[in-house]
Chains A and B, each alone.
Chain A
């Protein structure tokens, strides 16, 4: 029996279906991400979990107890909101102690515990600060400490890192993951940032227009996406329309491409996906001939836009220290055919 179960949750706003038939089993201590573009229903799902929205139908079971209609103040879940939602009229310490006070913990004990929680998120010297005197990263930590100090069975994170600048976000990602593993709290993260989901989660739930597209571990999701939406949304990829010739060959434009053996009928329309970093680019006159249309240096690697008989492709190559290809250069592409993925649906 799973620790937290969502059983065919539905949520409608009038005629609009925000979440449809959401079923998810989560184990104790797992880090799950709900990933999707805005409007995909991930935040609605989180709010139903938090009790801030009532599902139209379906059940939420936590630790064998049906909490579908339990009000938020009786669920005892820890929530970190996108805006952090700190109480501006209270110091960091009082913010963190608030949840304990609501649980009837005595003053000295709750202040001690709140202090410990702030130490845990490395804010020991900021206990008396008010939110307006703190940086975004510090506020984020206070919000995290406030959610964790009540020892919640489940921690809900609503785009917690989206308001931080890029560098801080990466640091917080690592810290968040370490903290979560140290405490072992079951965590559900809502995000539209695929990198965040990939780097933090045990499993990722990709959502699209209220439906679950795929549930998989990060590496699995990246390497074996179920459809073009997932393959395009998670990571970058080249999607090429084509037709199968036989079990191991497809035609893309005028070019025959060898692919892993599939069971598509010959002649069926498919979408071929190949990730830019799985392509190797050389000047030794073997492979798929292309012309470099644009070359962009990104520090750790080069990004090229190239065209050839298969159409336009994006290619990334690691920066090895020497000058890369230039615009107008002729080059050749090679790839391992196992790096290609075929989808029956057509890329839009």
Chain B
């Protein structure tokens, strides 16, 4: 059995993985893309013709432009908030004694341990017109008007930050772990104040973690479905819920497919160009 030449070994070894992804990821993606090139008729259903008509519709229609704008606006806002919450959180976490650290790590990771539907419905109970938020506001004397964050951009943002902060914390924490603790001592000994050490020594070294955390949070928000679907509902559609509605409500599968493909392309373009930017900026400093 010397038929297998050494050159082919890597291909043979990776073949199972390639087949797995080709069958379960590649084929559906290609099918979705092909589907998006068909058109749809309200009487006869999917028409097997070939055109970029759906893409033109999505790109030119103000309705879809607004949805795309809202989605990436939301992704940007959630990312910024996750940085503001997650970075200090990771820093505090890295300074705790190991016993408290494992306790708080569990707290931080909590949202990820709960089913997305349960967690989001929890937020719905909290945000709803007769929910806990209203009760608190009323008992604090802000009037009897019910306070509701359901179907609002604010509500959606809060719920998404809640579940995505852990990804930021873990990414930043990992890069904080890599910092030589003597580095901070060295800066102190050279006369730096605590604040200077934080801003000039610690934070710049945590930057790769912050930036990769941003990519994760941005991508997950831009393609988030369950939270926007429940908190945002039909009033505040994002790209993922819009695609879902095209598929299941209007039954215009080709249009839904083209929305999904456009979301994928937009996400990939944004993340790759962002990555390029970072690599150019930080390549000098970090391995």
Chain A residues near B (Cβ < 8 Å): 50-52, 71-79, 81-83, 85-89, 98-99, 102-103, 130, 132, 146, 150
Contacts and interface: CB of A to CB of B under 8 A. Distances in A.
B189 A88 contact: no
Given A102-B196, A130-B285, A85 B182 contact: yes
Contact of A73 (B182, B192, B285, B287): B192
Contacts of A132: 285-287
B193 interface: yes
The main secondary structure of chain A at its interface with chain B is loop
A27 B190 CA distance: 23
B201 A87 contact: yes
Nearest to B193: A73
A198 to B, nearest CB: 27
19 contacts: A51-B188, A73-B191, A73-B192, A78-B189, A79-B186, A79-B189, A86-B183, A87-B186, A89-B204, A89-B205, A89-B286, A98-B187, A102-B190, A102-B191, A102-B196, A130-B284, A132-B286, A132-B287, A150-B191
B180 interface: yes
A81 B185 contact: yes
Contact of B189 (A50, A83, A130): A50
Interface string B189-232: 11111001000110011010000000000000000000000000
A83 B180 contact: yes
A72 B188 contact: yes
Nearest to B179: A88
Interface of B: 180, 182-183, 185-193, 196, 200-201, 204-205, 207, 284-287
Contacts of B190: 73, 98-99, 102, 146, 150
B183 A87 contact: yes
B23 to A, nearest CB: 42
A72 B285 contact: no
Nearest to B185: A52
B285 A85 contact: no
A317 to B, nearest CB: 44
A249 to B, nearest CB: 54
Nearest to B178: A88
A211 to B, nearest CB: 26
B187 A87 contact: yes
Contact of B186 (A71, A85, A103): A85
A73 B180 contact: no
A89 B285 contact: yes
A86 B185 CA distance: 11
A99 B191 contact: yes
Contacts of A77: 189
Nearest to B184: A85
Contacts of A146: 186, 190
Contacts of A73: 188-193
A79 B285 CA distance: 23
Nearest to B190: A99
B182 A72 contact: no
B148 to A, nearest CB: 46
A82 B182 contact: yes
A81 B182 contact: yes
A55 B180 CA distance: 24
Of B187, B191, B201, most buried by chain A (CB within 10 Å of CB) is: B191
A76 B191 contact: yes
A85 B185 contact: yes
Nearest to B204: A89
A35 to B, nearest CB: 21
A146 B201 CA distance: 15
B61 to A, nearest CB: 46
B222 to A, nearest CB: 30
Nearest to A78: B189
A285 to B, nearest CB: 60
B187 to A, nearest CB: 7
Given A52-B185, A85-B180, A89-B205, A102 B285 contact: no
Contacts of A74: 191
